């Protein structure tokens, strides 16, 4: 459900801030003197507790006085576990582990993680697929419905030709599909470090939404949260909201067929012409450009294009076609992973996941 989480607490007074900073600094000076709290130009920071899941702890003093912690939740509850994401069933353990660490530091008033605010959260889902298919999925996703803003950002362009990942950077969020095994092996090589149980990641494809700027007002109006706090963001429905939104927007819901098979499944000549356009232009994004380029009302034409793409998906057909075989859409597996992490939800919906698997 969650890979990383950046959370913060605001102090009411400068005196409270200074006291907490001094207590933390004294603790680190004994616990890990090689990673002291230090000024890096705009904040006091330390990585002394990184192995316990607190990747970075920092204190800022601008208009307000705050402490920030960049968390790796799964690592906090399972030492050495850099491979897996936090699941819903892990949340009570996370709260307990966080409280233990903060109490050990000597900051009891900051020990309730559920009440900390969220600056950034990375929702992530791991899907098991044939290892040989991961690069094929990545290539197919690159031909999906990617907006110009996402495709043309400087960050996105840096990863444009990567074979084992699709990394797209928006203003407030980033989308990442990638091969976990290949990525971790590369990290091992670059950092000259060995991670535990790396081979278990063979065939694991991760879909990650990095929510880098929280719009709490919008989420409250949508009924997804009641306030900006960790307790609200460690939420199955919120994870589903972000994962579903961007997966459907970029990939869609239909399976991948050859052009001949897809044409045979179409219900109209309009759908068939749309398939041919996407095939000819090489992606849904490029097809969209051609579809609207000579239109006098681009907004209306763009809406018509989107409606036609949605109809193909509704018919079980991905507008992106392949040269041979059939490649299944991963959406149902993604939803299985999200809902399968919430045992209460499973019982309520009476879904027999064992039979489904």
* pLDDT for the residue 296: 80
| Statement: residue 193 has pLDDT above 80 | no
What is the distance between the alpha carbons of residues 307 and 268, in angstroms, rounded to a whole number?
A: 14
119: pLDDT strictly greater than 70: yes
pLDDT of residue 4: 94
pLDDT at position 28: 93
Instruction: Specify the 3-state DSSP secondary structure of 104.
Output: helix
| CA–CA–CA angle 329, 3, 192 (5° rounding) | 105
Using the predicted structure, report yes or no on whether residue 334 has a pLDDT greater than 80. yes
Kindly tell me if the per-residue pLDDT of 298 is higher than 60.
Answer: yes
Q: Is 50 exceeded by the pLDDT of residue 269? A: yes
Q: What is the pLDDT of residues 5-49, one digit of tens each?
A: 999 999 999 999 999 999 999 999 998 888 999 998 889 999 999
- Whether the pLDDT of residue 190 is over 80: the answer is no
Give phi and psi for 86, each to the nearest 5.
Answer: -70, 130
| pLDDT reading at 260 higher than 90 | yes
Q: Go through 166-194 and write b for each residue having 16 or more CB atoms within 10 A of its CB, e for each that does not.
A: bbbbbeebbbbbbbbbbbbbeeeeeeeee
Whether 348 shows a pLDDT value over 80: the answer reads no
Task: Determine the pLDDT at residue 18.
Answer: 95
Distance, CA of 69 to CA of 46 (rounded, Å) = 10
What pLDDT does residue 341 have? 52
Say yes or no to pLDDT of 189 above 80: no
**Average confidence (pLDDT) over 245-255:** 92
User: Looking at residue 313, what DSSP letter applies?
Assistant: H
pLDDT band at 81 (very low <50, low <70, confident <90, very high): confident
Percentage of the chain beyond pLDDT 90 is 61
Q: Which of 208, 204, 184 is nearest to 196 (CA)?
A: 184
Cβ-contact 183, 129 below 8 angstroms = no
Q: CB–CB of 25/146 below 8 Å?
A: no
Q: In the prediction, which pLDDT does 160 show?
A: 80
User: Which residues does residue 56 pair with via DSSP β-bridges, in sequence order?
Assistant: 70
pLDDT of residue 164: 86
pLDDT band at 57 (very low <50, low <70, confident <90, very high): very high
| Sign of the four-CA dihedral 75, 76, 77, 78 | positive
DSSP 250-281: HT-SPBB-BHHHHHHH-SSHHHHHHHHHHHHH
> What is the average pLDDT score of the chain?
88
Q: Reply yes or no on whether the pLDDT at 351 is more than 50.
A: no
pLDDT value, residue 199 = 82
Is the pLDDT confidence value at 209 over 90? yes
Task: Give residue-wise pLDDT tens across range 165-187.
Answer: 898 998 889 999 999 888 878 77
What pLDDT is attached to residue 353? Answer: 30
> What's the pLDDT at 331?
92
- Between 260 and 163, name the one with better pLDDT: 260
């Amino acid at each position: 459900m969650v890979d990383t989480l950046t959370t913060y607490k605001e102090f009411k007074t400068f005196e409270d801030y200074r006291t907490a900073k001094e207590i933390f600094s004294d603790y680190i000076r004994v616990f890990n003197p090689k990673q002291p709290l230090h000024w890096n130009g705009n904040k006091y920071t330390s990585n002394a507790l990184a192995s316990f899941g607190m990747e970075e702890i920092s204190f800022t003093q601008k208009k307000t006085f705050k402490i920030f912690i960049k968390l790796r939740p799964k690592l906090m509850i399972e030492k050495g576990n850099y491979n897996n994401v936090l699941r819903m069933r892990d949340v009570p353990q996370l709260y307990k582990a966080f409280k233990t660490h903060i109490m050990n530091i000597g900051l009891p008033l900051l020990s309730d993680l559920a009440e900390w605010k969220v600056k950034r959260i990375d929702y992530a889902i791991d899907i098991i697929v044939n290892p040989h298919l991961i690069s094929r999925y990545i290539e197919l996703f690159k031909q999906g419905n990617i907006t110009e803003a996402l495709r043309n950002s400087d960050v996105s362009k840096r990863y444009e030709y990567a074979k084992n990942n699709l990394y797209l950077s928006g203003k407030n969020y980033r989308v990442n599909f990638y091969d976990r095994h290949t990525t971790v092996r590369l990290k091992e090589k670059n950092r000259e470090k060995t991670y535990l149980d790396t081979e278990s990641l063979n065939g694991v494809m991760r879909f990650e939404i990095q929510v880098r700027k929280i719009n709490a007002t919008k989420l409250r109006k949508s009924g997804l949260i009641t306030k900006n706090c960790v307790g609200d963001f460690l939420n199955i429905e919120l994870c589903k909201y972000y994962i579903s939104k961007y997966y459907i927007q970029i990939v869609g819901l239909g399976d991948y067929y050859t052009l001949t098979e897809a044409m045979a499944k179409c219900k109209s000549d309009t759908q068939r012409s749309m398939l041919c356009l996407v095939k000819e232009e090489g992606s849904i994004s490029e097809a969209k450009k051609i579809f609207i380029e000579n239109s006098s009302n681009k907004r209306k034409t763009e809406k018509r294009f989107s409606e036609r793409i949605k109809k193909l998906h509704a018919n079980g057909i991905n507008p992106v076609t392949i040269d041979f075989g059939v490649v299944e859409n991963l959406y149902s597996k993604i939803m299985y992973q999200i809902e399968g992490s919430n045992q209460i939800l499973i019982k309520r919906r009476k879904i027999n996941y064992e039979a489904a698997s």
